[in-house]
Amino acid sequence: MNLKNILQISPEVQKALDENRPVVALESTIISHGMPYPKNVETALKVEKIVRTNGAVPATIAIIGGILTVGISNEQIDYLGQKGTAVIKASRRDIPILVSKKEDGATTVAATMIIAQLAGIKVFATGGIGGVHRGAETTMDISADLEELAKTNVCVVCAGAKSILDLGLTMEYLETRGVPVIGYKTETLPAFYSRESDFKVTYKIDSPLEIAKAIKAQDTLNFNGGMVVTNPIPEEFSMDSKYISSVIDKALIEANELLIKGKDTTPYLLEKIQQLSGGKSLEANIELVYNNVKLGAKIAAELCKL
């Protein structure tokens, strides 16, 4: 099996890479597992439009029929959106199996990073990264996203780790694995739905150019591993931290009572939080993704100039 036979980069994305023009990788789990159809497709297409408006080429990544596809078409986005949760949520461990069985996969942060690196894309924008789950000291439930950040050289722009997680332990894990956590215009780790948490980022950086310089320096040093750029949700969409914390606590209690574990935990909690918040959490989720892809496009554009 040759990599060329299982890695397909769209002509638009490949041309941009060849010409050293900015490209932003985008994940596909948010399409199949993030929200219902057709809202998922509408959001994915708007995300791509925002990337273009901000001067970069979008590269939504998915596994289609066993092919690692970089820059899926509008028709493929609609296909993933309609198929929904029937599409396997694909992390590192799933990629070889899906390729060998010629099946579809919606890529998580970890899988998107892997495929982006194979394609030569340096910047990836998403909603929030996975992390250390609450109670991980007994369950050992730690997202594969964190290990990928420690080994795959891609910059991930996000609104912090999802606030259903243990943010303190997530930061400790990233520090132990040597992953820089950059706060864009903030010294405090954003908490996904809210702009702030009780935890500090590694460094505050105030411009896309300076972030791009840090990425370039990491490459020059030949370090293994990526970088997390945390970008607070816009203030007008930020949710009150006490309110959303109480909603998350209720969702966690129900998940525990139903014995929901492993990779089913995050999608269950996000859906339950959406229900309990009357849809406000979904609106916030969508807006923070839009905000992150704008920043991702600006960082990618500056990186191409260096």
Question: Which of helix, strand or coil describes residue 155?
Answer: strand
Sign of CA dihedral 275, 282, 149, 205: negative
Catalytic residue among 122, 162, 263, 294: 162
Distances (CA, A) of 283 to 65, 179, 279: 31, 30, 7
| Residue 48 annotated among the catalytic residues of the structure | no
Alpha-carbon gap, residue 88 to 218, rounded angstroms? 33
| φ, ψ at 243 (rounded to 5°) | -65, -50
Give the closest residue to 166 by CA, choosing from 89, 265, 94.
265
| φ, ψ at 126 (rounded to 5°) | -145, -170
Catalytic residue among 27, 148, 271, 302: 27
CA dihedral (259, 33, 181, 193) in degrees, to 10, reads -80
| Residue 250 annotated among the catalytic residues of the structure | no
Residue at 190: amino acid letter: P
Active site residues: 27, 162
